[in-house]
Amino acid sequence: MATKQRGRPRSFDRDTALEKALRQFWEHGYEATTVSDLTREMGIGAPSLYAAFGDKRTLFEEVLVRYAGSYGAFGGHALAEEPTARAAMERVLREAAAVFTEPGHPHGCMVIHAATNCTTPEIEQTLRAQRNANVETFAARIQRGVDAGELPGDADAGHLARYMGAVFQGLSQQSRDGATRADLDAVVDLAMRAWPTA
């Protein structure tokens, strides 16, 4: 015997609404994006937002996962697929230059931009931890390159990873300020000249 579903059926596409929330946070940052902004952009009422996603913070955490698996996935692919640490890091930066300036979505990196003027400690910590984890991932890949003899034995993987992270974050901000892909590629050219050779 079939049971009746309680309440009204959901009248919106959850995946589409989540993508719209992602773009809102990406464009305006976490703190500046209000629940009213989200409901207007997503085309749903506040009760529907809370029922489907929880509160603003819970929605943002889901958005972060979606971003990492879509727009932000290029970094992990580059680090896993390229045969050398140098090739991997250059690909990360080149693809960042492309994604950060791509038409059709906000420029820059959402994880970096969402932290601007953030005064919610839990979100600030989440974003900081994610950025630091990225640098640690860079360092691990670079250290494998050092161990394989691709870089000088005295190369400091942590410092080089921090430098690459600073370039990555700079590319994000520069794209927000109007830099083109060609502008950012020129920055990557300069950054890679600093790469130590064995």
Q: What is the pLDDT of residues 152-185, one digit of tens each?
A: 999 999 999 999 999 999 999 999 999 999 999 9
Instruction: For residue range 104-115, list pLDDT tens digits in order.
Output: 999 999 999 998
Q: What percent of the chain has pLDDT over 90?
A: 90
| Location of each CATH 1.10.10.60 domain in the chain | 14-68
Tell me what pLDDT residue 7 has. Answer: 47
CA distance 187 to 147: 28
Range with lowest mean pLDDT among 1-10, 60-69, 100-109, 182-191: 1-10
Structure-token pair, residue 194: 């600093």
What fold is seen in the domain 14-68? Arc Repressor Mutant, subunit A (1.10.10)
Query: Which pLDDT does position 12 carry in this prediction?
Result: 75
Letter for the amino acid at 125? Q
Read off the pLDDT band of 188 (50, 70, 90).
very high
* C-alpha of 23 from chain center: 12
**Quick one: residue 120, left, alpha or beta (phi over 0 = left, psi -120 to 50 = alpha)?**
beta
Residues of the chain with CATH 1.10.357.10: 73-193
CATH topology of domain 73-193: Tetracycline Repressor; domain 2 (1.10.357)
C-beta atoms surrounding 181 within 10 Å: 15
pLDDT band at 1; cut points 50, 70, 90:
very low
- Tell me the mean pLDDT in the region 11-21: 89
Please tell me the pTM assigned to this model: 0.90
Residue 198: what pLDDT?
75
